A and B are shown apart, each in its own frame.
Chain A
Amino acid sequence: MTEVSQRPRTAESAAGIVAEFFDRYRAHDVEGMTDLCSINAGFFYVPVELWGKQRVLRGDGKVRTIGKPLWGGLITAFPDLSNTVHAITSNDDGDVVAQVDIEGTQQLAWGLITPAGRHYLEPHLFIFHVGPDLLIDSITAYWNDAGISQQLGHNEVD
């Protein structure tokens, strides 16, 4: 269930929501992460694109339909998945920018990458928007997926 806060939205409270989001991510609490987001929260993982013969699947959509299964899949494939938050900056309009390292050791297939027990650590930049109700209504993330592939021993560009 989505959590609704009575606190006013400030730069500090918006940053606090995002810090809590990464705490829950570190605890593999996908339901808890989702509870911090509005029902219709947008989800944009920019590097995610799977090229088929006639279409490209992208990591664009909603937290509940794209984000949640993606987070769950990552945690399944990388059971020790963790994150380190290096910096969070925010403003009173609810914009929050976070520099975060995501890391994990592969135990199951992830996309086209077969598991070889290898570890990856990749810097990510997350851009959140937190609404006046202190719920995250948008998540956008950038990272270098080639870095993850190479660390996991997968050298095909796909």
Chain B
Amino acid sequence: MTSPAVTSTAVTSTAATGTVVTGTAVSSTPTQTVQAFLDAFARHDIDAAMALTDPQVSVTVHPLGLHEAGPDALRQILADLVRGFPDLMITVGQVITTGDVVTALFKAEGTQAADYAGAINQEKHLDIDQAWRFVTGGGVITDVAAYWCQAQLYRRLAVKRYDEIAIA
């Protein structure tokens, strides 16, 4: 089922779509909104990605035990990934739209260059499959829930124990 296009006046960024938007209405489907977010994240353009989120966006990152409202938490999640893995590559496998909910399945790959999630940098390669469930409304993302397996992440970063994450 394809969701109807929605009209948004909230998006003011230019980076995600390459189109100048200055407070006038733009039309975007839930799929287009999330695809633009993913494209910006893949370019490491965090400002462009964040411009597609609601100021009160609800953020849940299950593997990190994070449940917060507001964009700061999401910005931090994205920034930490890009800082920890400067060559981060996001490969989207599937984008599934179910009404206003868009679920993206993608692989995140990169080489660790800084501490991440408590794991010290041992220059290991990370490849991890993730699923992010977005809720959209008014042309922006209002809710994000991220799922990945922290066991897989730590295994690839050569962490040995959950209670001694910073000890290689």
Contacts and interface: CB of A to CB of B under 8 A. Distances in A.
Interface of A: 11, 46-47, 49, 51, 89-93, 95-97, 99, 123-125, 127, 140, 142-147, 149-150, 155-158
Contacts of B116: none
21 contacts: A11-B99, A46-B129, A47-B149, A47-B151, A51-B155, A89-B101, A91-B97, A91-B98, A92-B1, A95-B97, A123-B62, A125-B131, A144-B63, A144-B149, A144-B150, A145-B151, A146-B63, A156-B160, A157-B151, A157-B159, A157-B161
Contacts of A144: 62-63, 147-151
Given A145-B149, A147-B62, 15 more contacts: A11-B1, A11-B98, A47-B151, A89-B99, A91-B2, A95-B98, A96-B98, A142-B148, A144-B151, A145-B152, A149-B162, A155-B163, A156-B162, A157-B151, A157-B154
A157 B155 contact: yes
B103 interface: yes
A155 B133 CA distance: 28
Contacts of B154: 146, 157
B105 interface: yes
Nearest to A49: B152
Interface in B141-168: 145, 147-152, 154-155, 159-163
Nearest to B129: A46
Interface of B: 1-2, 62-63, 96-99, 101, 103, 105, 129-131, 133, 145, 147-152, 154-155, 159-163
Contacts of B101: 89, 97
A125 B98 contact: no
A155 B160 CA distance: 9
B161 A149 contact: no
A93 B63 CA distance: 30
Nearest to B94: A127
Nearest to A124: B147
A49 B156 CA distance: 12
B63 to A, nearest CB: 4
Nearest to B65: A147
Of residues A49, A125, A156, which shows the largest number of chain B Cβ atoms within 10 Å of its Cβ? A125
Given A47-B152, A144-B149, A90 B98 contact: yes
Of residues B98, B129, B130, B152, which shows the largest number of chain A Cβ atoms within 10 Å of its Cβ? B98
Contacts of A127: 96, 103, 105, 131
Contacts of B97: 91, 95
Of residues B103, B149, B150, B154, which shows the largest number of chain A Cβ atoms within 10 Å of its Cβ? B149
B57 to A, nearest CB: 17
The 7 closest A-B CB pairs, nearest first, are A47-B149, A89-B98, A91-B1, A146-B150, A142-B147, A146-B151, A144-B63
